[in-house]
């Protein structure tokens, strides 16, 4: 990054120039130590985002009390003059030099006199969102020479570069961008042959190194121990350490020895101290022996202090952003869960087929076992999954659902595992996946048979190890989830056809629960009809007291290929059509479907085909818990009677 300053040219016009010279450490030292010279940075809301000790002392307010406050909150009526200057710089993007202020500060009883130089601070894209100021209080003794005191613009130029650096890193929240901004400033403003930053990484409990600049070819280790001889005293004890060639040779640090071999003969380490403690170290190296002077430490310490503040603030911002994002998504899912739980307040039905399912739910719910819910479309698989969650020890956690068939294949991985910013085109922010949202709760994968083969190994890893990585990240994330999957496909056939991994199938098939089709639990149809009539009548502010017997018989005899969902939709349509207190069911729609079916698809023939299919699936077994009669929700004798009436022979259902 180049820092462009403006100076007045001939005839009052302005000309720009690029100052490529490094900051004069002696001048900076005098300015920073001078009690009457201060500097600060404001954002576009005229709030303080940086202030040095000298200006804070002049204002009579501690530095930390400035941050986040407006000019008016700190300076009172005096702010009116300053706000006008700030607004002008923000609007025009041009500096204002030698602006003199005479006013009384809220913390003083006597008026004071100051001269100020305001200048814009541009972002990477050129937008002006911050303003810097260099302030000198007049009429008091100064540590600067008379020539320097009479040339505030000369003094402000190096400070402009430093303040631009402070402003740039104050607005940066991504660590890589922050390190890049620090590297840019160091490369422009400080003459060194090597510079780096080490930051403590709690995940590995070591210092992770980041090279900022280097004129020597040498490998810098990615991580070093926190007590490494070079970094340990600075990181652990907050000491500023300056090494010369002799001390580097006897330091016992492999890193310093390698630096020495590449020609670096002086090395300076400064602690990065934040409100939470020491974050790491800022390091400079030069090829000359005894190259660092005490005078330079003033600048180095200011750079380290600003870098530490920015790194700490950026980490806090990212933590808050991630937490906010997580909470926002959790609120959405919890609201959805609350609505769904209210809609399906209870599972309706008394048939033996349904009771067997509920017994299985009560058996498996207290465990953390993976459950695979099987059944045709519309049988209520999600309702059963929610019942398992509510009866489990995870009921206080989230119930997160994902329909694998409703999301395009290209987006399914992102929805499931999440992604980092920039992981792919369009990934403009970090996104949490459903797995993270389901941590310590339950993840329900509906239509799990639709997951592409290339994603199945990643899901298998989650089931086995409870860990994964987001798209675009190498950081492993641990989760604690219980998986419930559902499908209307025959996964065993998909495995045989090489469309589904057999190892994943076995991991999902720990506790299968098969939901009966509505035609297998016809006893529940009257109960379901009354439930849905009441539900929709209440929503539409209608009073419906009766269902005609003829309509109920028609509903009872229909085969319901869409199962409970089809029945629910029909009842909703019926409630809409009903004008009085007796439900009007469009029976003609069912009769129309029968007329449009193949010529032999009468109710009787459909019933015959259904019984044959169940008999084939049970291998011809009629009685028993898993026999055809149980699956059809009828007594063994009733089934045998129906088989005799429909002319079903043994040869038709046995292989």
pLDDT in tens, 37-70: 788 888 888 888 888 888 888 888 888 888 888 9
Per-residue pLDDT at 326: 60
Per-residue pLDDT at 55: 86
Per-residue pLDDT at 6: 29
Burial class (CB in 10 A: 0-12, 13-18, 19+), 319: exposed
Indicate if the pLDDT at residue 278 is higher than 60.
yes
Per-residue pLDDT at 305: 80
Per-residue pLDDT at 369: 93
Say which residue, 361 or 79, is predicted with more confidence.
361
Neighbours of 441 (CB within 10 A): 23
Give the mean pLDDT of 459-476: 89
Query: Quick check: 521 and 353 in contact, CB under 8 A?
Result: yes
Per-residue pLDDT at 370: 94
Neighbours of 217 (CB within 10 A): 7
Indicate if the pLDDT at residue 13 is higher than 70.
no
Per-residue pLDDT at 128: 81
Give the mean pLDDT of 86-108: 81
Indicate if the pLDDT at residue 567 is higher than 80.
yes
Task: Find, among 318, 18, 323, 3, the residue nearest to 177 by Cα.
Answer: 318
Q: pLDDT for 168-177, tens place per residue?
A: 665 566 778 7
Lowest pLDDT segment from 132-146, 323-337, 366-380: 323-337
Q: pLDDT for 227-270, tens place per residue?
A: 888 888 888 888 888 999 998 888 888 888 888 888 889 999 99
Give the mean pLDDT of 638-642: 80
Burial 471-484 (b: 16+ CB within 10 A, else e): bebeeebebebbbb
At residue 468, the 3 state secondary structure works out as strand
Give the mean pLDDT of 409-438: 83
Lowest pLDDT segment from 20-29, 82-91, 323-332: 20-29
At residue 427, the 3 state secondary structure works out as coil
Give the mean pLDDT of 320-328: 63
Q: Could you please report the per-residue DSSP string of 296-311?
A: GHHHHHHHHHHHHHHH
CA angle 546/547/553 to nearest 5° reads: 155
**Would you state the CATH architecture of domain 518-653?**
Orthogonal Bundle (1.10)
Lowest pLDDT segment from 339-343, 484-488, 589-593: 339-343
Strands 431-432 and 418-419: antiparallel
Mean pLDDT of the chain: 79
Lowest pLDDT segment from 232-241, 535-544, 588-597, 643-652: 588-597
Give the mean pLDDT of 88-108: 81
Q: Which residues pair with 81 in a beta bridge?
A: none
On whether the 4-170 domain is CATH 3.30.450.20, my answer is yes
Give the mean pLDDT of 8-32: 42
Per-residue pLDDT at 290: 87
- CATH tag, 344-514: 3.40.50.300
Per-residue pLDDT at 156: 45
Give me 383's structure tokens. 């309702």
Say which residue, 396 or 11, is predicted with more confidence.
396
* Runs of H (alpha helix) within 93-128: none
Instruction: Say which residues have a Cβ less than 8 Å from residue 14's Cβ, sequence separation at least 6.
Output: 6, 7, 8, 94
Give the mean pLDDT of 529-535: 90
Indicate if the pLDDT at residue 468 is higher than 80.
yes
Q: Tell me the C-alpha distance between 413 and 420, whole Å.
A: 12
Per-residue pLDDT at 145: 43
Lowest pLDDT segment from 44-58, 190-204, 511-525, 578-592: 578-592
- The residue extents of the domains of the chain are 4-170, 191-297, 344-514, 518-653
Instruction: Say which residues have a Cβ less than 8 Å from residue 120's Cβ, sequence separation at least 6.
Output: 89, 90, 93, 94, 95, 128, 130, 131, 132
Indicate if the pLDDT at residue 146 is higher than 50.
no
Give the mean pLDDT of 598-620: 69
- Kindly report whether the global pTM for this prediction surpasses the value 0.85: no
What confidence category does residue 220 fall into, taking pLDDT thresholds of 50, 70 and 90? low
What confidence category does residue 459 fall into, taking pLDDT thresholds of 50, 70 and 90? very high
CA dihedral 571, 576, 580, 581 (to 10 degrees): 30
CA angle 596/602/604 to nearest 5° reads: 160
What confidence category does residue 461 fall into, taking pLDDT thresholds of 50, 70 and 90? very high
Q: pLDDT for 286-313, tens place per residue?
A: 999 888 887 778 778 878 887 887 787 7
Give the mean pLDDT of 364-392: 92
**Would you state the CATH architecture of domain 191-297?**
2-Layer Sandwich (3.30)
Give me 130's structure tokens. 């911050």
Q: Do domains 191-297 and 518-653 have the same CATH topology?
A: no
Say which residue, 33 or 112, is predicted with more confidence.
112
Sign of the torsion angle spanned by Cα atoms 197, 201, 204, 207 = positive
Q: Tell me the C-alpha distance between 6 and 466, whole Å.
A: 58
Percent of the chain with pLDDT over 70: 80
Say which residue, 619 or 358, is predicted with more confidence.
358
Per-residue pLDDT at 155: 44
Per-residue pLDDT at 18: 33
Give me 437's structure tokens. 């949202």
């Amino acid at each position: 990054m180049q820092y462009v300053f403006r100076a007045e040219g001939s005839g009052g016009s302005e000309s720009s120039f690029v100052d490529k010279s490094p900051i004069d450490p002696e001048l900076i030292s005098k300015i920073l130590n001078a009690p009457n010279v201060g500097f600060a940075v404001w954002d576009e809301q005229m709030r303080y985002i940086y202030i040095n000790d000298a200006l804070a002392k002049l204002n009579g307010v501690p530095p930390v009390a400035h941050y986040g406050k407006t000019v008016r909150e700190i300076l009172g009526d005096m702010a009116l003059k300053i706000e006008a200057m700030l607004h002008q710089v923000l609007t025009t993007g041009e500096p204002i030099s030698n602006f003199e202020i005479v006013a009384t500060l809220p913390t003083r009883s006597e008026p004071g006199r100051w001269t100020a130089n305001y200048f814009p601070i541009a972002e990477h894209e050129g937008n002006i969102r911050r303003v810097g100021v260099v302030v000198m209080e007049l009429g008091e003794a100064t540590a600067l020479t008379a020539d320097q005191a009479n040339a505030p613009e000369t003094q402000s130029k190096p400070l402009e570069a430093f303040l631009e650096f402070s402003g740039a890193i104050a607005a940066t929240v991504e660590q890589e961008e922050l390190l890049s901004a620090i590297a840019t400033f160091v490369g422009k403003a400080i003459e060194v042959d090597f510079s780096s930053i080490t930051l403590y990484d709690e995940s590995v409990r070591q210092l992770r190194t980041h090279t900022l600049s280097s004129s020597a070819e040498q490998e810098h280790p990615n991580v070093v121990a926190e007590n490494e001889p070079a970094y340990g005293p600075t990181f652990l004890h907050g000491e500023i350490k300056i090494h010369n060639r002799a001390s580097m040779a006897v330091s016992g640090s492999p890193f310093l020895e390698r630096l020495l071999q590449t020609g670096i003969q002086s090395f300076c380490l400064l602690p990065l101290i934040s409100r939470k403690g020491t974050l790491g170290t800022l390091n400079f190296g030069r090829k000359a022996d005894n190259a660092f002077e005490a005078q330079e430490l003033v600048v180095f310490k200011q750079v380290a202090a600003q870098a530490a503040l920015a790194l700490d603030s950026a980490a806090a911002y990212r933590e808050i952003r991630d937490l906010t994002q997580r909470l926002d998504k959790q609120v959405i899912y919890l609201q959805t869960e609350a609505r769904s739980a209210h809609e399906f307040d209870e599972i309706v039905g008394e048939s033996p087929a349904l009771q067997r399912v509920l017994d299985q739910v009560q058996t498996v719910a207290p465990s953390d076992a993976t459950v695979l819910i099987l059944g045709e479309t519309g049988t209520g698989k999600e309702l059963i999954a929610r019942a398992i969650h509510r009866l489990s020890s995870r009921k206080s956690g989230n119930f997160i659902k994902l329909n694998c068939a409703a999301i395009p294949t290209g987006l399914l991985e992102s929805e499931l595992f999440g992604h980092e910013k920039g992981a792919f085109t369009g990934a403009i922010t970090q996104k949490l996946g459903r797995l993270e949202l389901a941590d310590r709760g339950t993840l329900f994968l509906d239509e799990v048979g639709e997951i592409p083969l290339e994603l199945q190994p990643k899901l298998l890893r989650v089931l086995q190890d409870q860990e994964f990585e987001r798209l675009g990240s190498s950081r492993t994330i641990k989760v604690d989830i219980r998986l419930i999957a559902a499908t209307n496909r025959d996964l065993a056939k998909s495995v045989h056809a090489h469309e589904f991994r057999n190892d994943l199938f076995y991991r999902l098939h720990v506790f299968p629960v098969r939901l009966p089709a509505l035609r297998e639990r016809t006893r529940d149809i009257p109960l379901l009809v009354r439930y849905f009539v009441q539900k929709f009548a209440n929503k539409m502010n209608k009073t419906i007291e009766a269902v005609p017997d003829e309509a109920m018989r028609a509903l009872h005899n229909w085969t319901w290929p869409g199962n409970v969902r089809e029945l629910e939709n029909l009842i909703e349509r019926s409630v809409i059509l009903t004008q009085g207190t007796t439900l009007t069911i469009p029976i003609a729609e069912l009769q129309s479907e029968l007329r449009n079916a193949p010529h032999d698809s009468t109710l009787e023939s459909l019933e015959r085909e259904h019984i044959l299919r169940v008999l084939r699936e049970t291998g011809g077994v009629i009685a028993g818990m898993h026999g055809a009669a149980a699956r059809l929700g009828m007594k063994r004798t009733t089934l045998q009677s129906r088989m005799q009436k429909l002319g079903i022979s043994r040869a038709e259902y046995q292989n």
